[in-house]
Structure 1
Amino acid sequence: MKLGIILETKEFEKAWNGFRFANTALKNGHEVQVFLMGEAVECENLTHEKFDVAGQIKVYSEAGGEILACGTCLKSRNLDGTDVCPISTMVDCLEMVVWADKVVTF
């Protein structure tokens, strides 16, 4: 199955669960794309003693998972895209939704 995940929060536990879900889906043979928008574009460096979002993102990225980050949301925070979270557009988000069999939001 093709799963699209839209993550809109940098709340530690919710973002952590979103990437745990993405990692579980990849490990079970599904194709996964994650689109970060709003405050979620700040997730790449989120660490917490219980909810290591950055660690889950690293696992996801190393497993070949694709992450896209809203360029408008990055720019509004004076952030740049990275190798792990490249700058993307709403067109990219739309294309992910069209591509996916199911879309989940966190």
Structure 2
Amino acid sequence: MKIGIIINTNEPETVWNAFRFGTTSLLMEHEVKVFLLGKGVESENIQDEKFNVQEQIGLFVEHKGQIFACGTCLKLRQMKGSEVCPISTMHDMLHIVEESDRILVFG
């Protein structure tokens, strides 16, 4: 199954759970793509003692999950894309939605 996840929050527990679900899905041999939108583009920078978001992002990428970050949302925050979260567009999000069997929205 192809799963698309849209993260539109920087709330640590929600982002942590989204990536945990994504990694679990990858381990069950599903294809998973994440699109970071709005405050979600801040996911890579979340620091929280209880919810280690960076660890979950690392596991997700390690298991071949793909992450895309809204370029406009990054620009509004004076941020840049990264190797893990490259700059993407709404067209990229549309392709993820179109090709996915299931879409989950966190945030």
Same fold, judged at TM 0.5 (above): yes
Give the drift of 1:59: 0.7
Q: What is the alpha-carbon distance in structure 2 between the residues aligned to residue 62 and residue 46 of structure 1?
A: 19
Aligned CA RMSD, in angstroms, stands at 0.6
| C-alpha displacement of 1:48 | 1.2
State, as a whole percentage, how many aligned pairs show the same letter: 53
Provide the C-alpha distance between the structure 2 equivalents of 1:26 and 1:63, rounded to a whole number of angstroms: 6
CA distance in 1, matches of 2:50, 2:24: 18
Runs of 4+, deviation exceeding 4 Å? none
The total of aligned residue pairs comes to: 106
Partner of 1:82: 82
Which stretches in structure 1 are left out of the alignment for 5+ residues?
none
Q: 1:98 corresponds to which letter in structure 2?
A: E
Task: Show the 5 A alignment for 1:5-44.
Answer: 5-44=5-44
**Which runs of no fewer than 5 residues in structure 2 stay unpaired?**
none
Q: Output the TM-score relative to the length of structure 2.
A: 0.97
Normalised TM-score (structure 1): 0.98
